[in-house]
Amino acid sequence: MSQLGNFPKDALNNSKAHISEIIAANEAHIVRLLTEPHKTYLNFVRPLADLDDRLNLAFMPISHLNSVKNTAETQKVYADCIGDITTYSTKISQHIDIYNSFLSIRSCEYDKLDTSQKKVLDDAILAFELAGVALPVDKKARVMEINVRMNEICNEFSQNLLNATNAYKLTITDESLLGEMPESDKITYKTDTGWAFGLQMPSYIAFMTYVTDRVKREEMYRAYTTRAPENGAIITEILALRDELAHILSCKNSAEKRLKEMAAPSVNAVLEFLRELGKKGKPYAIKEFEEMSALAVRDGLDGLSAYDTAYYSNKLKKEIFFDEEELRPYLESDRVVSKLFELLNRMFGITLKWVDTELWDKKAKFYEVYRADKLIGGLYIDLEARTDKRGGAWMNDWHTHYIDSKGVQHLPDAFIVGNFPPSTESIPSLLRHSDVVTLFHEMGHALHHIMSIVNEYNVSGSHGIEWDTIEFPSQFLENFAYSSDVLNDLAMHYETDERLPSNLLDKVIAARNFQEGLALVRQLEFGLFDMLIHCQLLDEHGVQQILDKVRHEVAVVAYPNYNKFQNGFSHIFSGGYAAGYYSYKWAEMYAADAYLAIERAGAKANELTKRYCDTVLAMGASRNMDEIYELFLGRQPEPDAILRLAGLIED
């Protein structure tokens, strides 16, 4: 059984040597497995999964620390290990004897296997073929070189971005320029000489939302959108390597290669899906932009620039609905987390219990997860922003639910990491409602991993999920952050214990679809750009041309020429979303459809929620998501559910 909550304090000690030992032991074990004269699923496939798990358990703490406690030491240890791991993984993915053994097992044993085991074989054989298992020796060697180099430069891209983010500070000395910035933010960013703001997300958002000086806003915006200019050359190399790899594997381009493992059927299907949403959604975005522009003109501006949108969006929202900062005193982080746990108990019958254990930061916490009084997994939560933490929010899995080759059941756990407003000695972490939505989102990912009942490692929890459906459970759960019952329960003033006033609660619900058109076209911009740059070989200039064309097609905000958004687009250049950013919208089709189905179920909502838990969450990747969704609702999702839930079309 997994040692849940036992995060290794010595994760960085002798890590390269430890990882090398594991790789050497794995390779020796594989040689022994290949000598087995009669290979079966149980004596060959499952032991291989054990080896994957062993390496992941050793490396994940290193990778995690490099993201949440980034130092020169973590960077070095990570870089020392990732090359060996990539070489090993590539070697295994191209191992013709393992591939042939899988083919033989599928040929001889397939009909006797359960659904999960069949899926493991099918997925593995496809992965072998996409890794070039049947390539000539020289091309296999080139694939390995590409994979090693890709890991190096993707890590370099991420590190450049983190370094640039942490290097910048802009100080405001005149308090009147902070406008209506809440006192909690003023206290957080106060220094001896004024108020110092950086490019970490909470700080950047606070600055762009409240600072009244337009020149200062542009100065901050320019710093943010011109970070890490050296990443431009890295992007060119990344795209060239991805394109070369696709051609080696007889694919037209890297987008086509990526979609072979996706739910979406083709590049054209993705582009059509995104553009159809754009046609229906852009008129709403234009109208929303015009509403903001009118407010700016009323203030004496001759037009609205990209560095004005956060300021005027907040101003307009405040005029029509409320100032999001009004909510923050009611959204104290610890209470929000506690009430989220209660919601999960009502929805899925799970209980989370805090365990006092030493972790990488004093503000990080670990919880055991129980269902029907039975321990089923664990959850690490680290929510507050720090300068040594990578930006954004994410979920990572560590241990996985599965039965190993010796018949031992392992329990899962996961990390939820955020960059929410930090607490101080006098003020707790007070969240924006958007932070609450983000927390619910990442919890949806974590539940998808932790609540798996699948016994095969490679298709349990988050493992093996089609990338363009992996956001489904997270986007589904975030919808509940707008529920009046949920908000009424979790919102309480951190000083007075006053409940959220009913008029403010009503405004939060009414504001759910505020500027959904603008949010839609922004996501379509990212998705189209990502897909199109992976359909052809481009240099830095070509990448910019594609971005300009996409913006002309779907965007309604005019971007200044210096905006180099692509140099900070870590999702596709140092994350897992290359030729897959469209996944957010593709998965949202499932999430919106599922949420609306439960919302309409009335008295039968609990029954439908239980079925969601027993299918979508429990079944992992043991089937394709289309099959799982069919088991959940008896039909496929409707694309217009995205627009319907956003209030952009009527029922």
For residue 627, give both structure tokens: 């099959």
Is 562:222 a contact under the CB 8 Å cutoff?
Answer: yes
Report the half-sphere exposure of 488 (CA within 13 A, side-chain side): 9
At a CB cut-off of 8 Å and minimum separation 6, what does 148 contact?
Answer: 83, 86, 87, 90
Q: Name beta bridge partners: 369.
A: 352, 377
- DSSP letter (8 states) at residue 623: S
d(C-alpha 559, C-alpha 522), whole Å: 12
Contact 158, 570 (CB under 8 A): yes
Helices (H) and strands (E) in the chain, counts: 26, 10
Angle at which helix 309-320 crosses helix 201-210, to 10 degrees, equals 70
Question: Between β-strands 413-420 and 374-384, what pairing exists: parallel, antiparallel or unpaired?
Answer: parallel
HSE value, Cβ hemisphere, 13 Å, CA-based, for 529: 25
- Those residues with Cβ within 8 angstroms of residue 432's Cβ, 6 or more apart along the chain or in another chain: 205, 324, 325, 327, 328, 331, 421
Give strand pairing partners of 101: none
- Which pair of tokens denotes residue 358? 């030493």
The length of the chain is 651
Which residue shows structure tokens 């923050």? Answer: 328
Q: At 329, list the tokens.
A: 């005193």
| Cα dihedral 265, 268, 273, 276 in deg (nearest 10) | -160
Distances (CA, A) of 640 to 274, 379, 648, 651: 12, 34, 9, 10
- In degrees to the nearest 10, what's the CA dihedral of 88, 89, 95, 100? 140
Neighbour-count burial for 195-218, b at 16+ CB within 10 Å, e otherwise: bebbbbbbbbbbbbbbbeeeebbe
Inter-residue contact 574 to 390 (CB < 8 Å): no
Query: Is there a contact between 231 and 567 (Cβ–Cβ < 8 Å)?
Result: yes
Closest CA to 472 of 590, 353, 338: 590
Task: Say which of 325, 384, 442, 525 is annotated catalytic.
Answer: 442
List Cα–Cα distances, 235 to 146, 162, 450, 552, 603, in angstroms.
Answer: 14, 16, 35, 22, 52
Q: Give the other-Cβ count within 10 Å of 4's Cβ.
A: 23
Tokens standing for residue 371: 């269902």
DSSP assignment string, 453-472: ----GGGSTTTT--GGGTTH
Q: Count Cβ neighbours within 10 Å for each residue of 496-510 and write b for 16 or more, e otherwise.
A: eeeebeeebbebbee
What Å distances lie between residue 438 and 442, 478, 548, 592, CA to CA? 6, 7, 29, 16
Task: Encode 13-66 in three state secondary structure.
Answer: CCHHHHHHHHHHHHHHHHHHHHCCCCCCHHHHHHHHHHHHHHHHHHHHHHHHHH
For residues 140 and 517, give the distance between their C-alpha atoms in angstroms, rounded to a whole number. 46
| Whether residue 152 lies in the annotated active site | no
Catalytic residues, by residue number, are 442
